Amino acid sequence: MIEDILRKIAIFSERRPFLMVAIILIITIFAGIEATNVKFQTAFEKMLPQDHPVIKTLYEVRDNFGGTDIISICIRLKPSDSPDRVNDIRDPRVLRYIKILEADLRGIDGITDVNSPVDVIIRRNNGTVPSDIETVKEIYRSLPEDVRDKIFNHDYSMVVVNAYTDAGGDQKKLMEILEEMERRVEDSPVPPGVEVVFTGTPPMRRLMSALMKESQMVTTLVGGIGVLMVLFLYFRRPLSTIMPLIPILIGVIWTGGAMGILGIPVDMATAGIGSLLLGIGIDYAIHLMHRYQEERKKGRDVAESIETAVVSTGMALLATTATTVVGFLALVIAPLPMMANLGKVCALGITFCMICVITLLPALLVIEERYILPLLKRVFR
């Protein structure tokens, strides 16, 4: 039965190669559109079991008391050639700037509170910012040691302002709040010799998202170039080098589309799925193409060579794919959601690569033999 199906696929690809390519292309366009809906998962709690009491309690705290994400704004000294630069973070200009910044940030929708340890010094000065640094130092020295340790760092070069949000698990809202805070800081009157740096969980989430996108692009690109080099060394012909890679790249696109449809996010485990599928899937294409070339060297025509290659190699590919998919599906029962996601994505991706190799690669080989090579011979004759 399986051999009959493979034989029918081979015959269809041999007789109607352009129709097969068109069908695969339509599916690929649809998958590419759906792949744009894939979300990047950077929330640490989403990578843990959602039914665990710790995670459930976290969500309960968010629902009842607002977000648990704190955006820390680090205000610190930086090198400056300005004669009016701040040399001590206890400078009253820094304290005035902090009060202006706190008032401005409180006006952002989603910010529930903004505070800084320097508020203690201002309260000790009857609610106003001291007019000179000596007054600040005097008030600072009068504070208990445990309070002093929480205001400035040991060399008086840094102070931190904390902003609390009610975004909860809403990643989009959290990033919008962070971007608005950055815009307001950019427009604020920062004293000379002082810089403002955002840190904490939300900025780290954004950094992780950017790094995952970069990792996807870089690893897939490098993997693709590496595979091309190996294929060129093996086949020694430009067309034969590119041909096996096309079905695998399409399989990667299909995998992205499936992730978008099924709501599987890109996380730390699945960020490198592109290069992983390239490395695993290219084996299928090489085996089928090599068998096809062997049949052609025996003097058989295109149709017979395609049918033999698809039927004989296809059976082995199905068995290999089945065992590999079963191995990856074992990850689905892993308690960590990101490991389960990796198992699902790998299983889908390997299956798609196998399907594309069996259906698309024979059609491409027929197009190469019957249309591209004769055309090149006429052009370069």
* pLDDT tens digits, one per residue of 257-291: 999 999 999 888 888 888 889 989 999 999 998 89
Q: Report the CATH number that the domain containing residue 7 is assigned in CATH.
A: 1.20.1640.10
Q: Is the pLDDT of residue 67 over 70?
A: no
Domain residues for the domain of 69 are: 53-205
pLDDT in tens, 233-247: 888 888 878 889 999
- Any domain includes 210: no
- 365: nearest Cα among 314, 293, 297: 293
Give the helix ranges, DSSP H, for 263-336: 273-297, 302-329
Reading the block at residue 213, the tokens are 């996108």
What is the reported pTM?
A: 0.80
Confidence check: pLDDT of 169 > 70: no
| 229 & 177 share domain | no
- Do 236 and 121 share a structural domain? no
User: How many C-beta atoms surround the C-beta of residue 171 within 10 A?
Assistant: 20
pLDDT class of 324 with cuts at 50, 70, 90: very high
User: Where among 205, 226, 250 does a domain terminate?
Assistant: 205
Same domain, 14 and 69: no
229 and 373 share a domain?
yes
pLDDT of residue 77: 92
Question: Does 280 lie in the same domain as 142?
Answer: no
Asked if pLDDT for residue 349 goes beyond 90, the answer is: yes
Enumerate the H helices of 151-244 as residue ranges. 171-186, 201-235, 238-242
Structural domain count, the chain: 2
Do residue 182 and residue 236 come from a single domain? no
Q: Is the pLDDT of residue 213 over 90?
A: no
Residue 47 placed within a domain: no
The number of helices, as runs of H, and strands, as runs of E, in the chain is 15, 4
222 and 141 in a single domain? The answer is no
Asked whether residue 48 is domain-assigned, the answer is: no
The per-residue pLDDT for range 132-154, each reduced to its tens digit, is 899 989 988 888 888 888 888 88
Residue-level pLDDT at 68:
61
